[in-house]
Amino acid sequence: MKLISAIIKPHKLDDVRVALSDIGIHGMTVSEVKGFGRQKGHTELYRGAEYVVEFLPKVKLEIAVDDDQVEPVAEAIETSAKTGKIGDGKIFVSELLGVTRIRTGESGSEAL
């Protein structure tokens, strides 16, 4: 099992959700986060004063999948979240050692 974490632009969340639903992924955790990468924020003008916004709003998705679903899920996220502009985000894949569904006590792949 793997845990896929993706950082994407907030306005692409619905596109990603639809793309994942189309390939049979119906569960994910979504968090609003802030961060920066190579773009290192940007400057904004507010009431005549210029200031630097260093941490930009992003959305973090976490999706637990079986090993055979990693490539289709990562590809669906990449194609649906891509704008071609800086700050599109990143996809991380980590080993998932275990999972348990609290309600039923199921563990492993059955709990996904």
pLDDT digits (tens, 9 = 90+) for 15-71: 999 999 999 998 999 999 998 887 666 666 667 777 677 788 999 999 999 999 999
Sequence-ordered list of residues with C-beta below 8 angstroms from that of 43, at least 6 positions apart, any chain: 50, 51, 52, 53
* pLDDT confidence bin for 107, thresholds 50/70/90: very high
Helix (H) or strand (E) holding 1: none
pLDDT of residue 87: 87
Q: 46 near 77, Cβ under 8 Å?
A: no
Interval 73-91 mean pLDDT:
95
pLDDT for 29: 98
Per-residue model confidence (pLDDT) at position 36? 80
Instruction: Tell me the pLDDT tens digit for each residue of 47-56.
Output: 777 767 778 8
The stretch 80-104 carries a mean pLDDT of 95
**Short-list 69, 75, 77, 76, CA closest to 109:** 69
Please give the backbone phi and psi of residue 49, each rounded to the nearest 5 degrees, phi first.
-105, 135
Each as own residue / partner, the long-range contacts of residues 30-35 (CB below 8 Å, 24 or more positions apart, any chain) are 30/59, 30/60, 30/61, 31/59, 31/60, 31/62, 32/57, 32/58, 32/59, 32/60, 33/7, 33/57, 33/58, 33/59, 33/60, 34/58, 35/7
Smallest CA-to-CA distance from 8 within 47, 71, 63 is with: 63
Note the CATH number of domain 2-111.
3.30.70.120
